[in-house]
Structure 1
Amino acid sequence: MTGKFIVVEGLEGAGKSSVIALVESIIQTQGHKTITTREPGGTPMAEAIRHCVKQNWQETVTEETELMLMYAARAQLLANVIKPALADGKWVIGDRHDLSSQAYQGGGRGIQQAKLDALRDITLQGFVPDLTLYLDVEPEVGLARARGRGELDRIELAGLDFFHRTRARYQALAAADESVITIDAMQHMEAVHQSVKDTLEHYFSC
């Protein structure tokens, strides 16, 4: 029996970490083995790529470079971790996946959809998550939460307009895909977690 791939998405400060821990706990209570991943990252090579993506360089990082690095890291994670775990019957809980590139690089950076589609076809070859939980938060609130965690990285410093464009693309993509469930992350954490529990309860009952 193959496992399932559940992804948690959202802007910085949306509360992904606590939701991922909750999702993992719920799935384990159903008797499934789990692993968690993060993007970019999750393998030695993908973590090195993550460092390249996140750090502030003394040169211009082009939008195309950022995009290709994201998909290079994703390809490594998919081949070396996600697919083997699923084949072994484990449930994989992902901190971000392809929806992030569609939202951040497509919406935020404004990269043409044709370029995104080409890289997605090469690296994912039709692979998609079984369920995605999109934690929707206003950029001003999310970034304020992120600043509370410490110094912001290169992408987190992209500015409010960037994050408003990213959020708008997230919302549009979620509305168009029934496998993406939007969770209001502006609620108190207890209410967010209850929404997640309700969503997973429905998912397990189907």
Structure 2
Amino acid sequence: MTRQGLFLTFEGIDGSGKSTQARMLAEHLQARGHEVVLTREPGGSPGAEEIRRLVLEGDPDRWSAETEILLFTAARRDHLERTIAPALAAGKVVICDRFADSTRMYQGLSRGDLRALVDQLHALMIGREPDLTLLIDMDPDVGLSRARGRQGREERFEDFGPALQHRMRQGFLSLAEEFADRFRIVDGTRDIDSVAGDVAALVSGALQQAGP
């Protein structure tokens, strides 16, 4: 186990396989003796899970973009207080399926030019970024087809359609350039085990930098 916690996030368009890779990484690290907390956004704490149901169900136009940003920030604050920060303080590895970068994309760009508002609220109420963000990149049409065929899918955002997914892919790639110090891009078009191998290698390097 690492002496100091390590905060890892997975990002990518719907159907990119990031949730599967997050789970596989958690199993990989646990098998090597690390204490791991696998979590997700929106959600990851009781209060945040309640907000998740509000924002992921119903008509695509149920909330304004501004209201969505406030809801996601509230969920993230509860998640940070109750799950992420305590685990990191205890020296655990936190693996989160989506974090603030998804809000920067989905609410900050897809539903109006509100990126500045997202960043302002993030600085005010969250105040931290992941130590390492793994972007699972793939063709949006393939990803959306995968997403629509799975159980428990996030219908409300997927129902915005393929145009949104193409914009999101470009947005995530732009974020990877903007935050090049913490983003690593992984080719998600390959088989699951090949992707997982690259992910494990990247995280191994981050763990070595974090120290014993």
TM (norm. structure 1) is 0.92
CA-based RMSD of the aligned residues comes to 1.8
* Structure 2 residues not aligned, in runs of 5+: none
Query: What residue in structure 2 maps to residue 180 of structure 1?
Result: 183
The residue number in structure 2 matching 1:16 is: 18
**8 Å Cα contact 1:41/1:77 also seen in 2:** yes
Tell me the distance in 2 between the aligned counterparts of 1:154 and 1:58.
Answer: 5
CA offset digits 1:155-206 (Å, max 9, x no partner): 1101111111111110011122221101111122222122212222333344
Q: Secondary structure at the match of 1:133?
A: strand
Structure 1 position 119 matched with structure 2 position 152: no
How far apart, CA to CA, are the structure 2 residues paired with 1:114 and 1:53? 21
C-alpha contact (below 8 Å) 2:42/2:76 kept by paired residues: yes
CA contact (8 A) 1:109 1:162 kept: no
* Matched position secondary structure for 1:108: coil
Q: CA deviation at 1:57?
A: 4.1
Q: What's 1:134 paired with? A: 135
SS at match of 1:134: strand
- CA distance, structure 1, for counterparts of residue 37 and residue 43 of structure 2: 14
The list of structure 1 runs, each at least 4 consecutive aligned residues, that deviate by more than 4 angstroms after superposition, is none
**Contact 2:6/2:207 (CA < 8 Å) preserved in 1?**
no
Residue in 2 that maps onto 1:42? 44
Q: Which amino acid aligns with 1:143?
A: L
Tell me if the contact between 1:7 and 1:133 (Cα under 8 Å) persists in the aligned partners: yes
* 2:11 aligned counterpart, secondary structure: strand
**Cα distance change on mapping 1:75 and 1:132 into 2, 3 Å:** same
CA contact (8 A) 2:60 2:159 kept: no
Unaligned runs of 5+ in 1: none
User: Matched residues in 2 for 1:13 and 1:195: separation?
Assistant: 18
Amino acid at match of 2:129: V
Q: How many residues align?
A: 205
Aligned to 2:196: 193
Superposition map of 1:1-206 within 5 A: 1-57=3-59, 60-125=62-127, 127-150=128-151, 153-177=155-179, 178-206=181-209
Q: Which whole-Å CA distance do the structure 2 matches of 1:131 and 1:60 have between them?
A: 33
Using structure 2 for the length normalisation, give the TM-score: 0.89
Question: Alpha-carbon deviation of 1:25?
Answer: 2.4
- For the 8 Å contact 2:13–2:169, the answer to whether it is kept is yes
1:22-69 C-alpha deviation (Å, 9 max, x unpaired): 211232244321111110011111111000001114964211111111
In structure 2, the CA distance between the partners of 1:22 and 1:152, relative to structure 1 (3 Å rule), is closer
Q: Specify the code of the residue in structure 1 equivalent to 2:30.
A: Q
User: Percent of counterpart pairs with the same letter?
Assistant: 38
SS in 2 for 1:2: coil
> Structure 2: how far apart are the matches of 1:187 and 1:27?
22
Distance 2:30 2:102 in 1: 26
Q: Give distance in 2, aligned partners of 1:137 and 1:110.
A: 24
User: Structure 2 vs 1, CA of residues 59 and 7 (structure 1 numbering), >3 Å: closer, same or farther?
Assistant: closer
Classify the secondary structure of the residue corresponding to 1:163: helix
Whichever residue aligns with residue 77 of structure 2, its letter is A
